[in-house]
Structure 1
């Protein structure tokens, strides 16, 4: 009988402790000091330890919020960005809250290449400094 009480107590404690450790996280690309494309729909995504948690994403540039359901611990929300500006904050709420600070909105350019990326502005751009 003591063993049954012990195992029941252990399961109860582990069940309660698991609920206390619900966590939300995002990929490292979604972090403080990031830049989001202006005037567009941007996808904010991440994971949670609660497989069916409701996640709310709120940008400080707007009064609206987007709420989505996590599916098997994965969530994804589309938010609309304003014209260029900032700094803003991005709040992600579930059982806990994650705050991304110093978010700037503007033009995002991605450049890649090899030797063709070695060209500096002084090698051909007019009025380059």
Structure 2
């Protein structure tokens, strides 16, 4: 059922139509709330997983320190740095040769791509 509005040109819904609209709105609202709760739950799960990963990483680093592997890696890096400092000219020459070889390879590949 519908009735005429105050201005005569608008038709207002009747009681049944209003009830149906209220039911639809409640259902839609319920779905929206469920989606928000689900989204909040997934956010919490992500934070929990991140916390577990942090704990796992901390335990792995702790094991490396206990085993002395972390210190040996640092020692190896220090030895390489010392060797590079003492032989700078050779290191620069080796880096230049490597860079030239990589550029030549890249140039050859580019020419082959255009010729085909």
Q: Which has the higher strand share?
A: 1
Same-fold status (TM-score > 0.5): no
**TM-score when scaled to structure 2?**
0.28
Larger RCO, structures 1/2 (Cα 8 Å, 6+ apart): 1
**TM-score calculated relative to the size of structure 1:** 0.26
Larger fraction in helix: 2
